[in-house]
Structures are given as C-alpha cells and as structure tokens.
Amino acid sequence: MATWFSRLFQGKKSIPSHEPILVDLHGQPIKVGDEVEALRYELGIAVLVNGPDGLEYQSVTTGEKVSFLRMVDAATRFQKVIKR
C-alpha cells in the first residue's frame, strides 16, 4: 500500500506552464543576437540582447528596448516576433 501512495504522488517533472519559451510565432528557436520582426510596440526590426534587466528586444531603427516578457503571446507562450 505504501508503494501505491508513493507512485501516486510521484508526478512527472515538466516545464512550468508559466515559463515563456524563446521561440517565434512559427516555432523557430530564438537566441541572443537574432534579428526578428517585432509584432508589438512598433519596434519594427529588432535584435534580442542581454540587458541589465534580462533579455530585451532592441529596435534597430529607434534603439527602444522592450523586455522579452512583454512580447509573450498568452495563448501559445511563443514570442510575438517573426525570426528573419
């Protein structure tokens, strides 16, 4: 009986559902230095960079920075960007 209870409470370890994934809308992986087309905040063409507050998208034309967390699509957890 003890083994049955121990198996019952042994869940599968998986990625928490609240963690964003670094992939574009088409499922292609994104890494620091990649150039993307941002679909939010009028960034246009942007580059993923390491900023003082973590990962950020920096617009090539204006230099504006937006945290990668603000670019997450709530339904899919993918980034609202398209990799170029």
Q: What is the pLDDT of residue 74?
A: 87
Q: What is the pLDDT of residue 5?
A: 60
Q: What pTM did the predictor assign?
A: 0.75
Contact 58, 49 (CB under 8 A): yes
Write out pLDDT tens, residues 21-61: 899 999 999 999 999 999 999 999 999 999 998 999 999 99
Q: What is the pLDDT of residue 19?
A: 62
Q: Which has the closest alpha carbon to 22: 69, 79, 67, 83?
A: 79
Mean pLDDT of 5-23: 65
